[in-house]
Amino acid sequence: MEIIDKNFLDEIAEQQAAEEIGLLEEAISQSKELARENEAEMHELIKHLKFQPEAIEAENEKENEQAEILAQEAEERLQLKEVDQEIVPEEILDLFSLETQIVGGEHPGHYWDITPYHAWGRVYPHNEGGVTVGSAQLVRSERKMFLYARAHGAGLGITDDNDVTVYGRFFYGFRPRKIGLVRVYVPFVTRGWYQIRSNDKWWNSKEAKAEVTLSVRLFQYYWGAPQEYKFFSKYKTNGQDKNRLDRFQSLYSDPMAVGSNRLVIAMVTCKLRVETEGSGSLAILSFRRPDCIFIPGVRFEFS
């Protein structure tokens, strides 16, 4: 198989993630001016109601302690204690019974690639006084991503954003022998859990959000459009929720016209995003070992 410079793949992965993070940071920055006005109004209201700063600080501390207790309870209850032996449904095992690790495209048909050619992971925290923790471990030989994102809010939540974005990326390769059309089918299995909590009361400024997005994008002479699937999204201002995220999902890339005898790269991305504002706000997405995001392989459909 034609060799692609892994530094090139790292640069592309970093660049595309940085562009997305840049847009998120810009959105936060643009909201600051209005948020400062709201913060000034809130402080005037607090002063008018004769709330003592010490009482507000004590309430914030109590909320943070409660969020920490709930986070520990959720991990003890929801985190797997051993490797899940039933991670791949039986029908997926059947599909992969005739796989090979190196694929070629001499004729129209389906070609499997089960071992990623390259892996890349990064954590991007945005901290304004709360807690922002993340990790990204990718193991090519196991075909698994071990990703984790956790954020705790701080303060009144008006001008303090505490967010974490975690990326995991696998790269796969296919070399068509003829001119044709390629699209990629990506099955994936998730074993993990989430927790989200916010106690806004009457402040109207505290919130928590958690999202998991999967995407696939093709490259040969240029990068095609990404095909994204947001398979989990949860938002809270008042209330809490936690549960397992054990699912089997799949998605297709956009089709791409390809030339002959040049490698086609499929970049498969899993992105975790947690956002919190205000003390007591909490958002966790956990796919840490023995939980994981498992991609048994990708299928290049060549015609």
Mean pLDDT of the region 21-38: 72
- End-to-end CA distance of the chain, in Å? 20
Report residue 48 as tokens.
């008018």
Q: For residue 142, which amino acid is it?
A: E
Instruction: Give the Cα separation of 10 and 16 in Å (integer).
Output: 10
Tens-digit pLDDT profile for residues 271-285 = 999 998 887 788 999
Domain ranges of the chain: 6-302
Which is it for strands 238-244 and 161-176: parallel, antiparallel or unpaired?
unpaired
Tens-digit pLDDT profile for residues 133-179 = 999 999 999 999 999 999 988 776 566 788 999 999 999 998 888 89
pLDDT, position 98: 44
CA dihedral for 31, 17, 12, 100, sign (positive or negative): negative
Helices (H), the chain: 6-48, 53-78, 90-95
pLDDT, position 101: 38
Q: For residue 261, which amino acid is it?
A: N
Which is it for strands 292-294 and 180-191: parallel, antiparallel or unpaired?
antiparallel
Report residue 268 as tokens.
């498969």
Q: What rounded mean pLDDT belongs to the chain?
A: 81
Q: Nearest 5 degrees, angle CA 149-CA 232-CA 69?
A: 45
Mean pLDDT of the region 197-226: 84
Tens-digit pLDDT profile for residues 36-90 = 555 655 556 556 555 555 555 666 666 666 667 766 776 777 777 666 555 555 5
Q: Are 134 and 150 in contact (CB under 8 A)?
A: yes
Q: Are 68 and 182 in contact (CB under 8 A)?
A: no
Q: Are 227 and 252 in contact (CB under 8 A)?
A: yes
Residues 6+ apart with CB under 8 A from 296: 88, 92, 96, 114, 143, 187, 188, 189
Reduce the DSSP state of residue 263 to 3 states and report it: coil
Residues 6+ apart with CB under 8 A from 224: 217, 218, 253, 254, 256
Q: For residue 147, which amino acid is it?
A: L
